[in-house]
Amino acid sequence: MMKKINLAIALGATCAGCDVAILDLNEKILEVFDLVEFKFWPTAMDFKLDDLKKLKDKEVDVGIYHGAIRTTEDAKIAKILRQKSKVVVAFGACANFGGIPSLANMPFEQDMFDLVYKDVPSMDNPENTVPLTSVKINDVELTLPGILENADALEEVIDVDYFVPGCPPMVPLIEQVVEVLKLYANTGKLPPKGSVIAGTKTLCEECGRTKPEKISFKEFISPQEVDEMDPDLCLLPQGILCLGPATRAGCDGLCTKMNVGCRGCLGPTDKVKDHGLKMISALTSLLEVEIEEEMTEEELDKIVDKIPDPLGTFYRFTYGKSLIYKLHSEEELI
Amino acid sequence: MSKTTQITELNSNPNVVLFLCRWCSGKGADLAGTSRLHYPTNVLPIMVNCSSRIDPQHVVEAFLEGADGVLITGCHFGDCHYKTGNYKTFRRMALLSRLLKQVGVNPKRFRITWISATEGAKFAKITTEMVEDLKKLPPYGKNGKGGDS
């Protein structure tokens, strides 16, 4: 009988969709229970942070972390997990790239706290009550974790060994993780450090839609604006924004199968530094290729303005780890 | 010498990274030189075969490595040596400029213009104009991160 692997699943700024994704393994989850001994998984079992703290250093074989680093508590949990684990896996788009929480890092015209707690139209807060990190009531001090300036990917705080992207990581990817765990339990072997457990090519390679030789489209339209969609033709010639050409494969075209454009949750491929910039490059090259010589600046503006929020569209999941994030400057906001 | 040292060793205020295409705007810059026209020394010219070779990533990296402004030049529409390269640059940079604006980069820092091989005077005028515009703004990339802190 092989030795069971000690597994810990910790979380930061997350919707816990990654936990649900693990349970989505269905009957394969039984294999997981045969394979591992859970040392920490507060979402699904009765664990407190103290249980993790009590473990010896490196007692956990594999520590999985999902969610971005948003509060001081997230950073603290990540550091404890690193201390107690032999290998750490960044699980899901938030832990890999900062994910949707990292979109809050984009420059706002005002302080994020003021915006959320005072100025949002639906907010009724005449006393300007805002969350504090500590408050004294009847001589008892109550504390809350502080919020960090930015929401970051896990790698910014601790050393990460493996990456499993996706929002949430899809079942085929989690099955690959289980295979890795199995191999580890049987032989003690692990893949090389820094491996990304997902495809190596782009989504277009595994998406089943037929791609015409020449792709060209007139404008960006939302799926609901299409009268009749061709279920087999590539989405781009139909005008639907799809991040497939720049996004890592591994999901088996889950969204494109359902006539929805890829949103890029698996992030860029190995050789790409910045997901959104590559996508902008690819996408605009295809825009109205056939009549490109006749296009005027006004016409182009009209088409490009159909994307109301380029940052949110092209960096929905990867802003926290993009080049453009390093560029942002609140001083110059206009 | 690495790219980083090249941009910062310009050590002028402001630093402008200037992308030239080999066929029209590069020849236009040559003409400005041979005609002894004055244009600022703040520009770091980088010649590429076609303006469409410039990936949005090159622009962002230029800013990150110390540029205060990026100027992209190419052939006029219809003049591209590769027939349609500059149309692609035009569309690509339109979307990129919106993105840069969203992350708080002043639009004056990023310009795109078309210069033919005979327009040495236009080349001198545009580079001077851009450098003058940038002189009114605080330095941008020198701290590795945007802003002036």
The minimum CA-CA distance between B98 and chain A, rounded to whole Å, is: 7
CA-wise closest residue to B16 among B45, B39, B37: B45
The model's confidence at residue B148, banded by pLDDT at 50, 70 and 90, is very low
The residue count of chain A comes to 334
CATH number belonging to domain A5-101+149-187: 3.40.50.700
Length of chain B: 149
The neighbour count for residue A291, using CB atoms within 10 Å, is: 10
- Tokens 């206009």, residue located: A334
CA distance A49 to A202: 39
When pLDDT is cut at 50, 70 and 90, the band that residue B4 belongs to is low
Q: How close is the nearest chain B Cα to the Cα of A225, in Å?
A: 22
DSSP string of B22-91, one letter each residue: TTTHHHHHHHHHHTT----TTEEEEEES-GGG--HHHHHHHHHTT-SEEEEEEPPTT--TTSSHHHHHHH
Burial of B137: CB neighbours in 10 Å, binned 0-12, 13-18, 19+: middle
Domain boundaries, chain A: 5-101+149-187, 107-147, 203-327
Could A334 and B94 be called an inter-chain contact, meaning their C-beta atoms sit closer than 8 Å? no
Residue B8 confidence (pLDDT): 67
**Closest residue by Cα to residue A251 from A312, A194, A317, A182:** A317
DSSP E strands, chain A: 5-11, 36-40, 60-66, 69-71, 85-91, 134-137, 140-143, 147-152, 162-164
Chain A residues lying within 8 Å of B95, measured CB to CB: 280, 283-284, 304, 307, 310
Q: Cβ(A327)–Cβ(A105) under 8 Å?
A: no
Q: What is the DSSP letter of A274?
A: -
A176: Cβ contacts below 8 Å, ≥ 6 apart: A197
The H or E element containing residue A156 is none
Interval A180-234: pLDDT, tens: 999 998 888 999 999 999 999 999 999 999 999 888 888 888 878 888 889 999 9
Contact B10, B60 (CB under 8 A): no
User: Chain B residues within 8 A (CB-CB) of chain A?
Assistant: 55-57, 60-61, 63-64, 77-78, 84, 87-88, 90-92, 94-96, 98-107, 137-138, 140, 144-149
pLDDT at B77 over 80: yes
Digit-coded pLDDT (tens) for B110-141: 999 999 999 999 999 999 999 999 999 888 75
Q: What is the pLDDT of residue B1?
A: 39
Cα A126 to its chain centre, rounded Å, is 36
Q: Does the pLDDT at position B146 exceed 60? A: no
| Residue A243, H or E segment | none
Residue A110 banded pLDDT, cuts 50, 70, 90? low
Is the bond leading into B14 cis (omega within 30 degrees of zero)? yes
Q: Which two tokens stand for residue A163?
A: 């990456």
A45 lies within 8 A of chain B by CB = no
Q: Is A146 on the interface with B (CB under 8 A)?
A: no
Question: What residues of A are in contact with residue B147 (Cβ under 8 Å)?
Answer: 329-332
The predicted-structure confidence for A145-185, as pLDDT tens digits, reads as follows: 998 888 999 999 999 999 999 999 999 999 999 999 999 98
Give the pLDDT confidence score for residue B110 in this predicted structure: 94
CB B46 within 8 A of CB B29: no
| Closest among A252, A255, A227 to A241, alpha carbons compared | A255
Torsion of CA A234, A240, A241, A246, to 10 degrees: 0
pLDDT at A27 over 60: yes
Is residue B142 scored above 70 in pLDDT? Answer: no
**Of A44-53, A122-131, A278-287, A322-331, which gets the smallest average pLDDT?**
A322-331
Question: Which backbone phi and psi does A225 adopt, to 5 degrees?
Answer: -85, -5
Residues A319 and A311: beta-carbon distance below 8 Å: yes
Angle at A328 between CA A89 and CA B11, to 5 degrees: 115
Q: Please state the pTM of the whole predicted model.
A: 0.88
The dihedrals phi and psi of A305, each to the nearest 5 degrees, come to -70, -10
* pLDDT value of position A1: 54
Residues 6+ apart with CB under 8 A from B64: A323, A326, A327, B141, B144
Given this model, what pLDDT does residue B2 score?
Answer: 52
> What is the per-residue pLDDT across A293-324, written as a single tens digit (0 to 9) for each?
888 889 999 989 888 889 999 999 999 999 88
The band of B147, judged by pLDDT with boundaries at 50, 70 and 90, is very low
Instruction: Give the whole-angstrom CA distance, residue A289 versus residue B123.
Output: 29
Q: What is the pLDDT of residues A253-302, one digit of tens each?
A: 999 999 999 999 999 999 888 999 999 999 998 888 888 888 888 999 99
Which residue is listed with tokens 């100025």?
A119
Q: For residue B149, is pLDDT > 50? A: no
In angstroms, what separates the C-alpha of B29 from chain A's closest C-alpha? Answer: 25
Cα separation, A51 vs A84, in Å, equals 11
Which SS3 state, helix, strand or coil, does residue A250 take? coil
Which of B77, B106, B148 faces A334 most closely, judged by CB atoms?
B106
In the stretch 250-279 of chain A, residues with CB closer than 8 A to chain B read 273-274, 276-278
When pLDDT is averaged across residues A62-87 and rounded to a whole number, the result is: 95
pLDDT of the residue at B141: 57
Q: Cα dist. A169→A165, A195, A206, A241 in Å?
A: 6, 15, 17, 22
**Do residues B70 and B19 lie in contact, with contact meaning Cβ atoms separated by under 8 Å?**
yes
pLDDT in tens, A96-106: 999 999 998 88
